[in-house]
Amino acid sequence: STRLVRDSPFIPLPTHYSELYNRYTHAPCQVCGTVPLQPAVCLLCAQLVCAGGACCRSGGDEECTRHAAVCSGGIGAFVVLKASTTLLVVGRRHSWWGSLFLDAHGEEDRGLTRGRPLLLNPQRLEAVIALWEGHGLREYLTHNPPPFPHLLLLRTRRTSH
């Protein structure tokens, strides 16, 4: 793991996205015990959660919302692994920030469709840290509402043969 940024409030992230992806995509959720269809890693404590899964939904709140409430007073940041994007959460509101990992051309690979190696981008990490430490998440979420109201729509279908 590499911490490229001074005094980051976030967990150390590996240089290569594949390390993060491989470490968590087949791991079980600590809440429901199943492997998440849409795994997300908390950037504050490294816990794996089910992003948008009905399995861990309680009282109308998805697991990212519930985890953020317990972990950091309702404000959270997660890497959604199969999308390679950063999810920001404040209370019951959320928004997509983009990816902390870029390919050799400086481009995101949302949804991991191109198959190019992704590397941690220090400038992207610094930008999220500045947003976090500057208490700018509420304002960011106000100006960048999600295209859909619930994370539940993130779920991918399990294929059964």
Helical (H) or strand (E) element with 15? none
pLDDT in tens, 90-124: 888 888 889 999 999 999 998 888 889 999 999 99
DSSP character string of 65-125: HHHHHHHHTTEEEEEETTTTEEEEEETTEEEEEE-SEE-TTS---TTS-S----EE-HHHH
Structure tokens at 128: 């999220």
Write the pLDDT tens digit of every residue in 129-158. Answer: 998 888 887 787 777 776 655 444 444 444
The CA distance from 154 to 161, in Å, is 22
Closest CA to 152 of 14, 60, 30: 60
